[in-house]
Structure 1
């Protein structure tokens, strides 16, 4: 119901559902609301980007939800630039920070992407950018849903922060879970003083909009400075030859940790590691610039199409520099 008050699903809507049904985002965001309101749901057994481009005009799909990879792989299809997307009034994205370059790609096709944020432990809706702010707040995850409280905690002291700030995102409200099944230790770590610790780093601006920056566990420290991979990945994504990128922190004798970028480039693209590193040097502080770039045919992904950085770390440990 909170989602309905923020991103209205109409009885006349046709909802395209491509996320796995075992995941809370696969049924508890758009489909459940659509069924409750009597709208139509096109339920797909798996995500196929070519089929998405076919279904949108054929079924006159009006709204859908996906993770960033859903929209990335769909936009990479040969027919994307000419596909009839005129029926698609609203597309929701969550699960990970959305590269601004990808937001612009869909915006150029006149598709309004509404960004949001949630997690299973919060059922999952926490933040959403209302459609009227979507273009103005590009890259933001939004404001809290009705009946949901959020706060930012200092990453070192745990103190709650006021005003514009950056810290770990905390959530409180009737949507937050009671705990992990038969795992009191994990529950105690996750629920602190009535707040759910999300493990995500966020920034809050003066209007109360939140931008998700990275996972706390993905942050690394280089020369005493906190480095958030998502910031580096955004710079790499902006390069026209780059399809996607993922950055991890690896041990370094001098700096403690340094960044390594894993990059997938477009077929036939003429780009090398030096060019990408030069781009990072132009746009980032020196301590944030990766020390190495590794090219891959594809990034390892989970069933939810999220990048598996644990696999990238394992690959680095096995192969190394």
Structure 2
């Protein structure tokens, strides 16, 4: 029997979704559209291309990039290859990025055109980075000079190496804190993240029928692993943007019939205050998620009044546990305002 049939890793869940829903739209970003079958095939080619570059199981690959289809594909390609994702906050300074690169031991750094200067500057500060990968962004662009192109890697025709991956292998290192000391890298296995995906699907009701908008940074565990990963797991349609401004978000929601959206309360408030809000058709929006801080009661009441179809979930957690820990569901938003809710499935508090 092929060992991959029984294996359960983050790379495997995309393959299984592609078998179930091959023709369904999986990824939309800018002008790019991929069905699940196309996304799965591209991820395998990209993983093979990375292997041709010398990236092996266990190697640390850092990503300093804004949201894009390229980021999404690289996430699953690294998981399929067995390499370790190290996502980095693009709002850090070069010295702070360099610290993470050194601490993680990354030799490869993926970036986009807008962040290429920061990536180069950081890599030059006593790091082991010797290889740069250029990722395409939401807007069309040309590969950065001196970097191997995502498109060239994804054109690889070599077979994907047969890597003996296990669910207990390291999937990613996500850096957290740093406000009072140096950032710490949370080492998360495939198992840890996948069990957390189950919690999200059950408790936060991430579902196959969702048309989700992913606008908050994918370098952060909330957007990456509470929403994007579970959405791929169950087979949602996913729109990705790097511009979480009210005007752009409202336009995307109306144009694509977005049904599911996550943002911190500050972004929800910005949407409500936009002059375009009342002119925008948000009739398809049904699931609203927030985290990072408490939603003010008056804002919750305003959302209920102006978006009567939308149910709200407050999700709380921490990077070290992949990250979802507790949830305050729609029925408790006004009954228990200020609460972080109760433990989700697979979590004890």
TM-score normalised by structure 1 residue count: 0.44
- Structure showing greater relative contact order (alpha-carbon pairs closer than 8 Å, 6 or more residues apart): 2
Give the number of the structure whose residues are more often helix, by fraction.
2
TM-score normalised by structure 2 residue count: 0.41
Give the number of the structure whose residues are more often strand, by fraction.
1
